[in-house]
Amino acid sequence: MTSAESRFHPDRAARRLVGPIFGAACLAATCTGVLALVILLGAIVAAALQGPPHNPWYALGPNLRELAGLVQKLALGVQSSNPARAGYRVGLAGSLWLLGLVAVVGIPIGVGAGVFLEEYAPPGRLRRIVQTNIANLAGVPSIVYGILGLALFVRAFGVKAVALGPTLLAGVLTLSLLILPIVVITTQEALRAVPRSLRQAALALGATRWQMIRDHVLPSALPGIMTGTILGLSRAIGETAPLLMVGAAGSLLQAPKGPLDRYSALPVEIYNYAKEPDTRFQMVAAGGILILVALLLTMNAAAIVIRNRFRRYD
């Protein structure tokens, strides 16, 4: 065997040993994440039920009914200094308002910006600068967006005539800025995954660029775009710091009726209950976390259904 052959000769024994070790390490990492999630959810459920459930742990049906009754009670109650009557109705309504308006404001802008940067913007220094700044904005702490929203939307840099004040619209615009980089980046990645041959075939058949994007590229990229949209909305619905900065009310007895009303949000109310010295409020805070988790799971399930439907007809 020559020196060149010995240098590139595969070590089959090492490969047979390293492969299973790497697979076992990946499995251990997966199991660690799942175990941590199960322990965290179990601790939240135990806190919501104020310790072990009244029924045996294996009585799944009664335990679930007890937990569902607690969540329903908290979802219908309002802010109160009495933990027996406290609930999240106003905060839940405010979070749904935020979710709907952020979807209307932030998602079209983010998707449109991603389409422009990927399909229309010519390659060059300006495009690279914009891409770099968008990538940097995706990693900015949420409290910075809260400070920006406070200066730009709530106070309007001291111009009272256009200042929104601590209203629902100011929170919506702040959270829209927060999710914008995520939506733009995921939209671009989804568009890049569409084969270049699809674009060339549409143009070769006489379609304009807009027709090619509308009828071929966007439908093919829609599952990936939906993923980015749900990721952005999930981050927005769980944020507390930006909403505290732009004036989300910690105690409110009436749900907002329009974009210019005062509002509260589910994470803000959870935060306020969790810092109460009375230990009974820990149960209320844990129940609010379960409501928030249920809302996030519902959003993710809806996204999976929509993605599967569009993949089926792709």
The 10s digit of each residue's pLDDT in 152-180 is: 999 988 888 888 888 999 999 999 999 99
pLDDT reported for residue 26: 92
In DSSP notation, the chain reads: --HHHHHS---HHHHHHHHHHHHHHHHHHHHHHHHHHHHHHHHHHHHHTTSS-SS-TT-HHHHHHHHHHHHHHHHH-B--SSTTTB--HHHHHHHHHHHHHHHHHHHHHHHHHHHIIIIISPSSHHHHHHHHHHHHHTTS-HHHHHHHHIIIIISGGG-TTT---SSHHHHHHHHHHHHHHHHHHHHHHHHHTS-HHHHHHHHHTT--HHHHIIIIIHHHHHHHHHHHHHHHHHHHHT--HHHHHTT--SS-SS---STTS----HHHHHHHHHT-SSTHHHHHHHHHHHHHHHHHHHHHHHHHHHHHHHHHT-
Residues of the chain scoring pLDDT < 70: 1-12, 50-61, 63, 310-314
φ and ψ of 85, to 5 deg: -115, 0
pLDDT reported for residue 35: 92
pLDDT reported for residue 112: 92
pLDDT reported for residue 312: 52
Paired residues of 78 in beta bridges: 86
pLDDT tens sequence across 229-280: 888 888 888 888 898 888 887 777 788 888 888 998 999 888 888 888 888 8
Please give the structure tokens belonging to residue 42.
């179990």
In DSSP notation, 128-189 reads: HHHHHHHHHHTTS-HHHHHHHHIIIIISGGG-TTT---SSHHHHHHHHHHHHHHHHHHHHHH
pTM beyond cutoff 0.75: yes
Question: How would you class 147 by CB atoms within 10 Å of its CB: exposed for 0-12, middle for 13-18, buried for 19 or more?
Answer: middle
Find out whether 105 and 176 touch, Cβ atoms under 8 Å. yes
pLDDT reported for residue 114: 92
pLDDT reported for residue 101: 93
Q: Say how far apart CA 273 and CA 193 lie, in whole Å.
A: 45
Q: Comparing C-alpha atoms, which of 284, 260, 21 is closest to residue 153?
A: 260
Look-up of token digits 């005539």:
161
In sequence order, which residues have a C-beta less than 8 Å from that of residue 240 and are 6 or more positions away? Answer: 265, 267, 268, 270, 271
Find out whether 272 and 78 touch, Cβ atoms under 8 Å. no
pLDDT reported for residue 230: 85
